[in-house]
Amino acid sequence: MTKSLQDKVIIVTGAGRGIGREIALLCAAEGAKVVVNDPGGAADGAGSNAAPAEEVVEEIKKRGGTAVANFESVAEAIPASKIVKTATDHFGRLDGVVNNAGILRDMIFHKMSVEAFEAVIKVHLMGSFYVSHAAARIFREQESGSFVHFTSTSGLIGNFGQANYAAAKLGIVGLSKSIALDMGRFNVRSNCVSPFAWTRMIGTIPTETEAEKARVEKIKQMGPEKIAPLCGYLLGDSAKDVTGQIFGVRMNEIFLFSQNRPIRSVQRSEGWTPQSIAEHGMPALKGSFYKLDRSADIFTWDPV
């Protein structure tokens, strides 16, 4: 069987554990040379540890693959650019980037610190930009390349206590769409994946009530290895016509998410006043309002 990523060079950020680890292992199994990036911090980003990235590299080599570890943080521009340099220094080229690195600092909005908001934005949104920006020049010159960015239903739909994470993850959707628009002329693709999987980061979900415990038990059924195949596909040549999309993976289900488009309009030839909006405009639109749903309100069935 032909390997879908034979001889391609792929960067996977946050690849020391969880979803990133599974993507790195799958990419290597599909023939790619992999840069396994992970500074090895805690779920909230604190500290560093070379062991997670090194262990993934050893696992890849043990299975007959090719990989190199990188321990830089994506949260600053210069270190992030060194991740890309690791790929070109070791393997001479770059074909794909998976922006998977992330941290969590959950807190209800009025109690969230500025530092907690900025830290999460830096890793998720700025990190995705920094790594993508460094790779973009290479992709432009060779006129090929694929970006896979990680979004979340926390941003796409909603969740409690995650204003920082939701803002970052919805920002990544805009970033991905802009890359797809700007770089399509160079055969560069950019897509988002929203994962449903039990990982160390999801392990921070509270389990105080019976409903919360039941929800977490369902999530635990969804292993991070289920996310990797779609990412491997999006990085390969068979996805050459797939760009600017938002996908979700939930165990054995793959979703295509909708994107923002107008759904209803009102018009008055004489223009609007605050009063006429109150009396006519808003009541006419109200039937199409979105409820303040959370992810669990939309994905109500068990993982299959």
233 is catalytic: no
Catalytic residue among 130, 165, 233, 290: 165
Q: Which two tokens stand for residue 39?
A: 């500074």
Residue type, 123: V
Separation CA 39–CA 49 (nearest Å): 6
List beta partners, residue 12.
36, 98
Report in angstroms the alpha-carbon separations of 94 from 7, 141, 206: 10, 11, 40
**Is 121 within 8 Å of 142 (Cβ atoms)?**
no
Nearest to 5 by CA among 23, 21, 28, 22: 28
Rounded to the nearest 10 degrees, what angle do helices 77-91 and 127-142 cross at? 40
Task: Indicate which residues carry an active-site annotation.
Answer: 165
